Structure 1
Amino acid sequence: MRQEINHWFLNLDTIRISFAPKKEGIFLFKHINYIIESKNRQTTVIRRYSDFWWLLETLGKRFPFRTLPSLPPKRLGVGDEVFLERRLRGLTRFMNALMRHPVLRDDPLVVSFLTEPVELAIWRKNVVVSTEDEFTSQLPISEDLSGHVPSNLDVQLEVIKTRLPALVDYVRSMVHVMDRIQKRTEATAADYMRYSLAIHALADCERQCHLNECYNCEQLSQGYNKIGSHMNKTSSILEEQAKSLQRSMVEDLKRLRDLQISLMELLQRYERSREAGIIETLRKRITANETKLKAVQASAVAAAAAAAAGGNQDAGDLSAFESQIEKVGASIASDRVELEVLLQRVVLQRYTLWMEITYFHKNQALIATMYQRFVQEQTKTSQSLRDNWKSLSPIVHDMPMEVNGFN
């Protein structure tokens, strides 16, 4: 079991999603198609946004006690460029979250979503998609399954449930701040580019001095051009840093936030599950019917004894007692079978919950990787900026600075 768990994060598939070239539909009902590429499977398919929603809804029925990733929100019409880019990144996080999950990534429906070359709507018409939950095919369970569930699972769940809201709030705040840092870096890169263009234009103006014999103004103009080139390079460095922040740190934080929210929603679904109430109802009904059965059996025995003693008890009364005993007994047997199935489903639910919080906990190891990548990128950017400014230093020091040189 432990060895199997340790293989969860090996050989993970990577999904890349991009916009298809053309929009389809008319007017407000135009929609965008998405090209989905699977690295491991070497497949490329085209899907609509509604296909993603259908996939999530179906997975929700099949895997009600799994950490299902969330999708970016719906919106009528095509939307602006910023919204579409945000949705594209959300869809990419959704698919890669499915690929990271040790169970969901191998579900036949997910595999078909990534590999069927035809439109999903056409494919759905030609196949029967089961919406039975995963537990149906796992019954009856092995006797030792409950032994794999920690005895303190309820305590663990309570601790997680208490901590999760605060964790989600903190990570949401971190996402917001890092997103602002990314946008400020992007804006700073754009400002350096504007400055570069302006100083190049200034160099053209300064090249022609009002004094024909002025050599220093021409040198100053050359210095302007070199400063502008370094400003332009600074812009490129910062622009790459902004892109790197978006690709890595911002998206990594959003993945962490999405996973926390998915686990919180899973625990809420578990609390709302109706098995516990049905089990209690069945147990009460079985107890009541067992009491009733004993009473009917006692009455039948008394009636049979009276008939044997020559009383006036007829065969019809005895037959009625037998019919009632059979009916109550059948009801008890049916309820016991249903109760056993529900008890086994509860064991499966608890085992699944334990697996999901184990999966959640193992994802914590990715936080170190996230910050390692962030620090590496920051170091790389800082070094590039330092080298750029250092190479500009002798150039600006060689620019004419003596007042007497501008006579």
Structure 2
Amino acid sequence: VNEPREPEQFLMQAPQGNPLLLSHTLQELLSKDSVQVELIPEKKGLFLKHVEYEVSSKRFKCSVYRRYNDFVVFHEMLLQKFPYRMVPALPPKRMLGADREFIESRRRALKRFINLVARHPPFSEDVLLKLFLSFSGSDVQNKLRELVQGVGDEFMTCRLATQAKDFLPADIQAQFAASRELIRNIYNSFYKLRDRAERIASRAIDNASDLLIFGKELSALGSDTTPLPSWAALNNSTWGTLKQALKGLSVEFALLADKAVQQGKQEENDVVEKLNLFLDLLQSYKDLCERHEKGVLHKHQRALHKYSMMKKQMMSATVQNKEPESVEQLESRIVEQENAILTMELRNYFSLYCLHQETQLIHIYLPLTSHILGAFVNSQIQGHKEMSKVWNELKPKLSCLFVGPSNMPTPPLSPPEGNFFSN
């Protein structure tokens, strides 16, 4: 494993000539690392119990224990160090009275978060990530803060920061607006796809429950010991034979239920989770766009307004022949403000530079769509194939249910196809 490098030594992998352009493939990003986040059964803590996670990195070949608050500090430090990059959001903390479903949902969300971070080009090469995934001491939160303290953000440490404008296309603002609209539309569509996929997986699990109950009711019916009326017993009733057949069917229905659960769980893991991963990434892009507009852009506009007011004060002081000292102080403040504006302009261009690269990253992740669709189709094929096999094995066992008046087997009744849809 290569040692993570400091940001000033690191450039996102790019073709020779223009560091703005990326050349990563989806497979390269996915192979950077695979991080598992598993719940530790015991709740530690003397007074307040809390959930702890085992975080295992394939890249760093180690496992560490982390609490939710460790993730929070790591997230804060990433935002502090990389304000112009896509930092995925964390799931909510809510712990009081948290049920198992919430805890499992949060574990999945933390796993998505750390995998997106571990595969993000600048983050993956930063010492923050290495510390979070490999430090086994008890004070990981302080260690994370120490790494960021006094270092400055990516703009301060990246050697290309002040030259970012030179690499940007002339129509960067128009490109940014178009990309933002496109990704907003993609997000909306994927949000709906995720909801439908959740419903499909949920229906498979509900179907399993219904099949299990159906089989149990057949078994209960076959096990009923209520005596037959005398006239039924005298007329060689087939009920006794039917009961024996019904009694044994619960095994097959339990197997059908098991297959349906497997399909539902597989679609939750392979389809819904991958959709959630991509949605988390898209949401982090939307959050980044808001940070750009409300942060850098807004501060730049305020600085320009302040500069304009100072210039007016300067003109007024000159006209009114104020004391030289006050004029000199005002001139000094104007120079300071000009420097601040220049820095903000450079930050604005660097923010756009990073946004352009993050937009490229989104497009690199887009082929994940085919992975998700392939997983969904394969799950449906496999699920229906396995259930079809059980249904076909069940059918011969029903032959004794179709007995005619003279105890001769008869086929099950079914309406002729032509009459089935007749008016």
Q: Which residue of 2 aligns with 1:347?
A: 349
Which residue number in structure 2 is paired with residue 395 of structure 1?
397
Aligned match of 1:316: none
TM-score (norm 2): 0.76
Structure with greater Cα Rg: 1
2:162–2:346 Cα contact (<8 Å) kept: no
Which residue in the other structure is 1:19 paired with? 39
Residue of structure 2 aligned with 1:373, choices 348, 372, 375: 375
Find out whether 1:244 has 2:228 as its counterpart. no
Q: Is the 8 A contact 1:286 1:336 kept in 2?
A: no
Give the residue type in structure 2 aligned to 1:381.
G
Other-structure match for 1:357: 359
Per-residue CA deviation, residues 44-78 of structure 1 (Å, 9 max, x unaligned), is 11111111111111111111111111111121425
Amino acid at match of 2:351: Q
* Aligned-partner Cα distance in 2 for 1:169–1:73: 22
Partners of 1:117 and 1:208 in 2: CA distance = 70
Q: CA RMSD in A?
A: 3.8
Do structure 1's residue 138 and structure 2's residue 158 form an aligned pair? yes
1:32 maps to a residue whose letter is: V
Matching residue's letter, 1:5: L
Change (3 A) 1:161 1:127: closer
* Structure 1 outlier segments of 4+, above 6 Å: 206-212, 214-218, 285-292, 323-333
Matches within 5 A, 1:203-352: 203-205=222-224, 220-221=242-243, 223-273=245-295, 274-277=298-301, 280=304, 338-352=340-354
Q: Distance in 1 between matches of 2:25 and 2:186?
A: 24
Measure the CA separation in 1 of the matches of 2:269 and 2:138.
29
TM-score between both structures, scaled by the size of structure 1: 0.79
Gaps of 5+ in 2: 1-13, 409-423
Matched, 1:45 2:64: yes
Give the letter for the 2:265 counterpart.
K
Structure 1, 217-226 or 83-92: larger mean CA deviation:
217-226
Q: Out of 351-360 and 171-180, give the one that drifted further.
A: 171-180
Q: Determine the C-alpha separation between the residues in 2 that align with 1:266 and 1:383.
A: 45
Show CA shifts across 1:364-386 (max 9, x none): 11111110111011111111112
Q: Deviations over 1:180-211 (max 9, x none)?
A: 22222111112212223333344444799996
Which sits farther off after the overlay, 276-285 or 94-103?
A: 276-285
Conserved in 2, the CA contact under 8 Å of 1:275 and 1:346? no
Shift, 1:290, TM fit: 11
Gaps of 5+ in 1: 300-319
Contact 1:66 1:356 in 2 (8 A): yes
Q: Is the 8 A contact 1:31 1:78 kept in 2?
A: no
User: What fraction of aligned residue pairs are identical, expressed as a percent?
Assistant: 23
Alignment length (residue pairs): 380
Pairs within 5 Å for 1:6-155: 6-7=23-24, 9=26, 10=28, 11-25=31-45, 29-77=48-96, 79-121=98-140, 124=143, 127-130=146-149, 132-139=152-159, 141=161, 143=163, 145-155=164-174
1:197 correspondence with 2:221:
no
Q: Aligned with 1:73: secondary structure?
A: coil
Aligned equivalents of 1:233 and 1:163: distance in 2?
46
**Partner in structure 1 of residue 193 of structure 2:** 174
